[in-house]
Structure 1
């Protein structure tokens, strides 16, 4: 999946600079993706702007808002939106072919409770997402940056956790992460246990079983058949 901008630190924790931990892979838009971008964007697309969104205006109702960062081609996001018409969904993805594919699928499935953005998520969070307004923040299968020297590029860091916390509803908002790399799962738990204002919702150990609302992807199903694990993590904002 595509990543977002995060901060980079030295080994002693000193902030060095902001880096983009994704590579903008434009790729080639298929004809269907390009058509969907052109035809569906006026209704389902949200352009970046330096002012806060008003969810009731965006969706035309006051239903809970679920935001996903890095939705890839949008298959699971569209499925979640279709399965939960009582919720509003917004996805942020920097890969335009993925955005186009998501819009095409949403139109095909008749999904109307979904909006998408094609922009750097950190900038969107800083300038467009109202504080304490999100029911759920989803981060599924982010780039694990396997090499140890690259772990500082992983999106789940203390500053990112704090940014998310500010946007979640106090007392009920949930940060839901999933990864198929055990080392990254351990990293997520380590970071989130240090992050103030959160509570792990796991009942037994650090992880939760895959919740019904997160669809099982083809990639994940294949991983299960090969004996690969997937780790789901949910932390609730309590302060």
Structure 2
């Protein structure tokens, strides 16, 4: 990993979609990387995708930023075989876990990147090609001095808008209320979007979003979860 001190100043504060974390690999995760990556893995260097060619069909397309250990991705892909999914995650054990799950469940409607999701959006995803962009439980950077590191910023909203089809939806979820309020403020001010919750601000938990172990643990601790859906209108 490059030390930021070695980078030019203009690159040192670029907001990333992730925080690098170390982790040990299980046998299944290693199997996923070894056998699943050649089938489902994509590289940033591959450049702009032809999504119909990639999946061999025309279908609704979902882009997931930071899928963690991949449980929700697997559940969504298995429940909607008529849809295609592109997931991005830098945590290698999580990438391996998702790939292993795809192999075990014989799913073919998912492709995976292991790099910065924002770079994938900028470099590899055609404009107006996505039906949904998912951002579930991103790092809230809860300390005030770290708020600028949050992925949800005006530039993020505009980048996602460009990649969504008109009518496509950005779906975000967080268990940190101040971050939910931040998301609501940023997207409400972003041009070309409509809040599907209207004046309510937040939508009820959508049935299509799987409940993760992380979320269940939060519920046991009394944590709330806030879902936001913003639709591209222009």
CA contact (8 A) 1:53 1:128 kept: yes
CA contact (8 A) 1:21 1:153 kept: no
Q: CA separation in 1, counterparts of 2:69 and 2:116?
A: 16
Q: Does 1:31 align with 2:27?
A: yes
Q: Does 1:224 align with 2:206?
A: no
**Which consecutive unaligned segments of at least 5 residues does structure 1 have?**
1-14
After superposition, the CA RMSD in angstroms is 1.6
Partner of 1:7: none
Specify whether residues 50 and 104 from structure 1 end up closer, same or farther in structure 2 by C-alpha distance, changes over 3 A only: closer
CA contact (8 A) 2:121 2:159 kept: yes
Residues 99-118 of structure 1: pairs in structure 2 closer than 5 A? 99-118=95-114
Specify whether residues 138 and 125 from structure 1 end up closer, same or farther in structure 2 by C-alpha distance, changes over 3 A only: same
What secondary structure is seen at the aligned counterpart in 2 of 1:222?
helix
The CA deviation string for residues 11-31 of structure 1, in whole angstroms up to 9 with x for no partner, is xxxx99424463322322222
Partner of 1:64: 60
Partner of 1:124: 120
Q: What TM-score do you get using the length of structure 1 for normalisation?
A: 0.89
Q: CA separation in 1, counterparts of 2:217 and 2:29?
A: 26
Q: CA separation in 1, counterparts of 2:213 and 2:30?
A: 25
Q: CA separation in 2, counterparts of 1:20 and 1:186?
A: 20
Partner of 1:40: 36
CA contact (8 A) 2:18 2:116 kept: no
Compare the two structures and name the one with the higher helix fraction. 2
Q: CA separation in 2, counterparts of 1:16 and 1:49?
A: 21
Bigger shift: 15-24 or 92-101?
15-24
The CA deviation string for residues 184-221 of structure 1, in whole angstroms up to 9 with x for no partner, is 00000000011110000015610001111100112212
CA contact (8 A) 2:21 2:91 kept: yes
What secondary structure is seen at the aligned counterpart in 1 of 2:122?
helix
**Which consecutive unaligned segments of at least 5 residues does structure 2 have?**
1-10
Q: What TM-score do you get using the length of structure 2 for normalisation?
A: 0.91
